[in-house]
Amino acid sequence: RHLATATIQRNPAFSTLNSDDINHFKGILGDKNVIEDEDTLLFANTDWMRKYKGSSKLLLQPRTTQEVSEVLKYCNSRRLAVVPQGGNTGLVGGSVPVFDEVIINVGSMKQVISFDKVSGVLVCEAGCILENLVCFLDNQGFIMPLDLGAKGSCQIGGNVSTNAGGLRLVRYGSLHGTVLGIEAVLANGDVLDMLGTLRKDNTGYDLKHLFIGSEGSLGIVTKVSILTPPKLSSVNLAFLACKDYSSCQKLLFEAKRRLGEILSAFEFLDNESLNLALNHLEGVRNPLPPAMHNFYVLIETTGSDESYDKEKLEAFLLRSMEDGLISDGVIAQDINQASSFWRIREGVPEALMKAGAVYKYDLSLPVETMYNLVEEMRTILGNSAKVIGYGHLGDGNLHLNISTPQYDDVILAQIEPFVYEWTSKQRGSISAEHGLGLMKANKIFYSKSHETVQLMASIKKLMDPNGILNPYKVLPYSIVSYS
């Protein structure tokens, strides 16, 4: 078990699974959707980072909202704790059990329910894999408003539950804006139909927002309605080198003004991140001639006029070179080259995993001071670790990662609470997009006031009085007390 969880005790109010329970679930779901197979459970008990590991003996795969409802109703009456799981690509230990919680995965609920070509509203089941939705929409001439490296495995229900950000947020905004409706099942089995498809609906509290980013702690998301943008004909991607962080920042400032409506991504990685990708990912090579640059920026534009967009980007890049903001750069000549550029940026998390142990922080910080944290961390850790910084610069989101050969308590004590205190002093967020999960449940006060957390705890108790939904996650365990 991860060191951070070693101190948590299993809530004694929860029941332990018995053979009657298993038979009951088989009655609801059929034998083959009640999984006790050890290999499948090993995967479902272990998170993507292989850092958090539960000991659940049961994985349930409901196929309909009604089945989710019956399962939860039973679990609630028996006080069996559950973990909603999607593609299990979460990075904060939220998607796997801490102890023996029953895992519920809606991956079999993967139908597109409707798509309206006029409004661009897609309604689908929560188990749809993001990449499958991308393919479906591509055929219709649309795109998903979110894109992330885990698209091949993550489910839209998981994306909504984590309020995933990703590479396109700078253009299309967060899921709080693009998700128009949700169907969710509460802990007691009640089904909340909030599956609206309207852009505007001011009839009372907009409760769907409670489920966006609540990491499976308030209900299981079963259906989602989402606004999708049209697929535009001209997409360009530039891979650029900058001599220092200040140039990256100025480039962002200029890109927002000069590329304006066509800017669709602004990502950065430092030289250490690039080296990790080059050293650990197969087939990845530096698109730029060998030279020492400290930072790299990917700028994507998406628009409707090929020659105008390209001219605009080229003029911007030329000017930025003349102004000394860019030291070198290349524009992808075709879709394959563009994918190879994205592979570098999207591959950094995978490269980190291959390099050894990773301490991963996902912070919202003022762009001006963001990179100081990486440098301060390097000074503190010296040669004992590699400190790397990359992320969604256009959104003010730094991914600070510390790579070491193996996990080490001494190193952890040098990183935490320093990183959280530093972020809090800047009034930043200790979770920009990955969530709190198990990793940061107890750290919430670095970013939220006591009053706010108390209200969150009251909402949690109201919606899940027995605390069966994803226990020990999101909120400090001491605040959500159960009996």
Neighbours of 410 (CB within 10 A): 7
Stretch that binds ligand FAD, among 310-318, 332-340, 416-424, 429-437 (CB under 6 A): 429-437
151 binding ligand MLT? (CB under 6 A):
no
Q: How many residues bind ligand MLT (CB under 6 A)?
A: 7
Output the smallest distance, CB 308 to ligand FAD, in A: 29
219 binding ligand MLT? (CB under 6 A):
no
H or E element in which residue 392 lies? strand 386-392
Distance, in Å, from the CA atom of 287 to the CA atom of 185, rounded to the nearest integer, reads 47
Which one, of 402, 421, 422, lies nearest residue 410 by Cα?
402
Output the smallest distance, CB 312 to ligand FAD, in A: 26
Contacting residue, 148, 241, 248, 255, with ligand FAD by CB under 6 A: 148
Contacts of 449 (CB under 8 A, 6+ apart): none
What one-character DSSP code corresponds to residue 12?
T
Output the smallest distance, CB 171 to ligand MLT, in A: 15
Contacting residue, 399, 443, 460, 473, with ligand MLT by CB under 6 A: 399
- Indicate the residue among 221 and 269 with the shorter CB distance to ligand FAD: 221
Does residue 417 have a cis peptide bond before it, meaning omega lies within 30 degrees of 0?
Answer: yes
Query: Tokens for 260?
Result: 């304006």
Stretch that binds ligand FAD, among 86-94, 240-248, 302-310, 445-453 (CB under 6 A): 86-94
Residue 247 binds: one of ligand MLT, ligand FAD, none (C-beta under 5 to 8 A by kind): none
Query: Tokens for 6?
Result: 């070693």
93 binding ligand MLT? (CB under 6 A):
no
By 3-state DSSP, what share of the chain in percent is helix, strand and coil, each rounded to 5? 40, 20, 40
Residue 158 binds: one of ligand FAD, ligand MLT, none (C-beta under 5 to 8 A by kind): ligand FAD
Distance, in Å, from the CA atom of 87 to the CA atom of 150, rounded to the nearest integer, reads 9
- Indicate the residue among 303 and 435 with the shorter CB distance to ligand MLT: 435
Residue 399 binds: one of ligand MLT, ligand FAD, none (C-beta under 5 to 8 A by kind): ligand MLT
Map residue 345 onto helix, strand or coil.
Answer: helix
Contacting residue, 145, 166, 287, 467, with ligand FAD by CB under 6 A: 166
178 binding ligand FAD? (CB under 6 A):
no
Which one, of 303, 316, 136, lies nearest residue 231 by Cα?
303
149 binding ligand MLT? (CB under 6 A):
yes
Residue 263 binds: one of ligand MLT, ligand FAD, none (C-beta under 5 to 8 A by kind): none
303 binding ligand FAD? (CB under 6 A):
no
Query: What Å distances lie between residue 119 and 116, 133, 180, 223, CA to CA?
Result: 6, 17, 12, 18
Alpha helices, DSSP H only, in 205-334? 208-211, 245-258, 271-280, 306-322
Residues 304-333 that bind ligand FAD (CB under 6 A): none
Output the smallest distance, CB 362 to ligand MLT, in A: 6
> Residue 152, Cα to own-chain centre: how many angstroms?
13
The residue number whose beta carbon is nearest to ligand FAD equals: 158
Query: Tokens for 311?
Result: 């001219």
Contacts of 356 (CB under 8 A, 6+ apart): 403, 404, 405, 406
349 binding ligand MLT? (CB under 6 A):
yes
Secondary structure (DSSP) of 162-231: HT---TTHHHH--HHHHEEEEEEE-TTS-EEEE----S---SS--THHHHTTSTTSS-EEEEEEEE-PBP
Output the smallest distance, CB 349 to ligand MLT, in A: 3
Residues 352-371 that bind ligand MLT (CB under 6 A): 360, 362
126 binding ligand FAD? (CB under 6 A):
yes
Residue 151 binds: one of ligand MLT, ligand FAD, none (C-beta under 5 to 8 A by kind): none
> Residue 81, Cα to own-chain centre: how many angstroms?
24
Length of the chain: 483
Q: Are residues 373 and 419 in contact, defined by beta-carbon separation less than 8 angstroms?
A: yes
Q: Are residues 241 and 293 in contact, defined by beta-carbon separation less than 8 angstroms?
A: yes
433 binding ligand FAD? (CB under 6 A):
yes
The residue number whose beta carbon is nearest to ligand MLT equals: 349
Q: Are residues 144 and 137 in contact, defined by beta-carbon separation less than 8 angstroms?
A: yes
Contacting residue, 62, 216, 303, 329, with ligand FAD by CB under 6 A: 216
- Indicate the residue among 144 and 210 with the shorter CB distance to ligand MLT: 144
Secondary structure (DSSP) of 465-476: TT--BSTTSSS-
Q: Are residues 259 and 313 in contact, defined by beta-carbon separation less than 8 angstroms?
A: yes
Instruction: Give residues in contact with ligand MLT (CB under 6 A).
Output: 149, 348-349, 360, 362, 391, 399
Instruction: Give residues in contact with ligand FAD (CB under 6 A).
Output: 48, 83-91, 94-95, 106, 126, 148-150, 154-155, 157-159, 161-162, 164-166, 215-216, 220-221, 349-350, 433-434, 437, 470
